Amino acid sequence: MTNTSPTALLLNAGHALDHLFLLIFATAVVAIAAEWGMGWNDLMPYTMGAFVMFGLGSVPAGKLGDQWGRRAMMIVFFLGLGASGLLVAATQTPWQMAAALTLMGSFAAIYHPVGIPMLVQKASRPGFTIGLNGLAGNLGIAVAALLSGFLVKHVGWRAAFVVPSLVALGCGILFAVLVPREAEAPAQRKAKSLDIPAATMARVFLVMTLTAVSGSMIFHFTTNGTGHLLAERFRGVVEDPATLGMLLAMVFALASLAQVAVGTLIDRFPLKRIYLPIVAMQIPLFLVAAVSEGWLLLVVAIAYMAAVFGAIPFTDAIVLRYVDDRMRSRVTGMRLAVSFTAASAAIWMLGPVVKAAGFSAMLAVLAAVAACTTLFVSFLPARDR
């Protein structure tokens, strides 16, 4: 499969939509809270169910992807994401919103354990393919900030959910028409022996799980919180929501380029050699961001998001190098269930933590979590299998 085939293009579009849908609420929450007479800090915890299901739903999604088929599951992903997004747009109360977002998180859970293994199963340059796919996902985050900010200002927050939902439904129809049927489900294929010592496998999977948890917490804190951070630290400089949305989109778009560079390096060097410095770089960047304001903060935010996004491809690369394709969806699903369920606590805590202690305290905590990630990565084998 080439990176320009219809299947690859739709899979990359799916990654963009997956992250876009999960970030619409964070961008539109101020407008929603104002309409419902609440503070955004108080409304933010209602999205926790979406991220809990984004993690827990990965286990059955991965199992069905391996045993039923990845193509069929991707069609369910696109159509379910679009339908649940329309349901979110129709909600009238916080608890209705919470229920609809939880359903949306259940469909969003399908992509990572199904779409990424489907994309790399025949890739000639898997590291670059993972990096390009990561770029697509993070551009979805950037588009969420830009598109949602524009639609919220000029049309209303409900339109911020409706427009991407229609795109997702269209992609689901295209996927069903253009992507060839699988000859057999991945679990039914012949196994390939990787001949890796059991102790090495246990060590690798422990590192993968721990870094996935800490990295996921950092990812969700930063992607959901950076927009509010910019709004606070740019007060008196830039206050227009659409302009702030453009600045946030620029941060995410520029930082996303790191994933392509990292993907290229993954094809050439052992994972530990490039993973370790990237996560270590996050520590000083978060500490500098804690005391930065205005345009300086914008520069630092681009740098720390580049380090956050640059670390994302490694867990998928670990699965690719150490797990046979017959069970990659299941392993990825279990890894995501652990990491994103833990990270959902970060989403639930974001509003209350910022309200009680401020963004400087939040960034200091992220620096401490990044230090833990650096420690975990140091236990990776010096050479890959």
The pLDDT of residue 146 is: 77
Let me know if residue 104 belongs to a domain.
yes
The pLDDT of residue 343 is: 64
Let me know if residue 345 belongs to a domain.
yes
- Is the model more confident about 36 or about 220? 36
- Is the model more confident about 182 or about 104? 104
Let me know if residue 383 belongs to a domain.
no
Let me know if residue 382 belongs to a domain.
no
Q: Count CB neighbours of 109 within 10 A.
A: 30
Listed residue (365, 279, 341, 366) closest to 314, CA to CA:
279
Let me know if residue 187 belongs to a domain.
no
The pLDDT of residue 231 is: 84
What is the tens place of the pLDDT at every residue in 257-308? Answer: 888 888 889 888 888 889 999 999 999 999 999 988 888 999 999 999 999 9
Let me know if residue 46 belongs to a domain.
yes
Let me know if residue 74 belongs to a domain.
yes
For residues 234 and 244, the answer to whether their CB atoms sit within 8 Å is: yes
Range among 34-43, 80-89, 228-237 rated most confident: 80-89
Range of the structural domain that residue 137 is part of: 6-182+192-377
Average pLDDT value for residue range 126-142 = 84
The pLDDT of residue 281 is: 94
Residue 209 belongs to domain with CATH number: 1.20.1250.20
d(CA 51, CA 54): 5
d(CA 381, CA 87): 46
Average pLDDT value for residue range 113-120 = 89
pTM reported for the whole predicted model: 0.76
Number of domains present in the structure of the chain? 1
**Predicted confidence (pLDDT) at residue 346 exceeds the cutoff of 80:** no
DSSP state of 68: T
End-to-end CA distance of the chain: 24
Average pLDDT value for residue range 23-31 = 84
Single-letter residue type at 57: G
For residues 67 and 329, the answer to whether their CB atoms sit within 8 Å is: no
